[in-house]
Homo-oligomer: A and B are copies of this chain.
Amino acid sequence: MGRTPAGETRGKVFAFVRDRLLAGQPPTVREVQEALGFRAVRTAQQHLERLVEEGRLVAGRHRARGYRLPGSSEGARTVLAPVLGRVPAGALDAAVEDPDGYLPVDARGAAAGDLFALRVRGESMTGVGILPGDLVIVRRQPTARNGDLVVARVGDEATVKTFRSRGRRVELRPENPAFAPIVLDAGAVAILGKVIEVRRILGAHGGAGA
């Protein structure tokens, strides 16, 4: 029977599988077969094997719908972090139950429930490229090390600052000369977690504004 020039079909197979994977719906070998118009399962199968050899796909052996894109296979798993509009005093867990939305986060190491996101208010951290309206993704932990970017609760407010320990006191340092550090007794500060990522959603319309 007739064939197709070298590599051409392979590219189409890859494109199909990639699109399906990126859409969150891994295809079966038979779905690849149908999509490409092959009359034998084996044909689709062979193309997939080749793509794996070439390193363009990763196969999960004997696993249904087991093909993945390299780099997204193991280790890196996506979870959803709740976006908290504000953190009510003493009720982080309650706030997590009623979020403003969810953000997909590449949770390497962190458990799903350990992450949340907060919207930054104020310009106190512009010195490290964190602007008002930015989202910080936070891993919950009760302690911090010097230099960590943390979310801490001071009174009823949750705030993003750089953490620094000074003897029995704690300094929450803004990264903007116009703001003064907050120095408190260690007992008066509750560390909610550590900032592991910063995001700025620009949206489909607006520009970046100088």
Contacts and interface: CB of A to CB of B under 8 A. Distances in A.
Interface of A: 14-15, 18-19, 21-26, 28, 56, 64-65, 68-69, 71-72, 76-80, 82-83, 97-106, 108-109, 112-113, 126-131, 134, 139, 145-149, 162-163, 175, 195-204, 206-210
Most chain B CB inside 10 Å of its own CB: which residue of A56, A78, A109, A199: A78
Contacts of A128: 208-210
A162 B14 contact: no
Contacts of A145: 207
Contacts of A175: 208, 210
A197 B148 CA distance: 24
Contacts of A127: 210
A24 B99 CA distance: 18
B104 A22 contact: yes
A149 B201 CA distance: 12
Given A103-B106, A128-B210, A130-B129, A112 B23 contact: yes
A97 B14 contact: yes
A101 B72 contact: yes
Given A71-B99, A71-B102, A78 B130 contact: no
B101 A76 contact: yes
A197 B202 contact: yes
Query: What are the 9 tightest A-B residue pairs by CB atom distance, in nearest-first order?
Result: A147-B207, A23-B78, A22-B112, A104-B104, A64-B64, A71-B101, A24-B24, A78-B104, A72-B102
